[in-house]
Amino acid sequence: MAVCDGKETLLQAGDSILMPKTGTHYLRNTGQDRLYALCMMVPNEDFSELIRNGTPVTLDEWDLQVLSRIK
């Protein structure tokens, strides 16, 4: 589910969405499986720094299979 300024939009695998930079927005996982999302921000506005300074996590075998498309 994509939420922007309180408006919810249901997303499916393979969907894309563009959210305005002025809005308050986030993604919410409404399923039982893990949620993988590719997020880009243009212009950067410190987004890459925020990601780099986030909490590091270790990818497990399932993550690596999803990210490499090996099933």
Query: What pLDDT shows up at residue 70?
Result: 64
**pLDDT tens for residues 21-69?**
888 999 999 999 999 998 888 888 888 888 889 888 899 999 998 888 7
Q: Is 24 exposed, middle or buried (0-12, 13-18, 19+ CB in 10 A)?
A: exposed
Q: Could you tell me the pTM of the whole model?
A: 0.70
Signed CA dihedral, 53, 57, 4, 66: sign only? positive
- For position 28, what pLDDT does the model report? 95
Q: Which of 22, 13, 30 is nearest to 66 (CA)?
A: 13
* Listed residue (68, 31, 37) closest to 51, CA to CA: 37
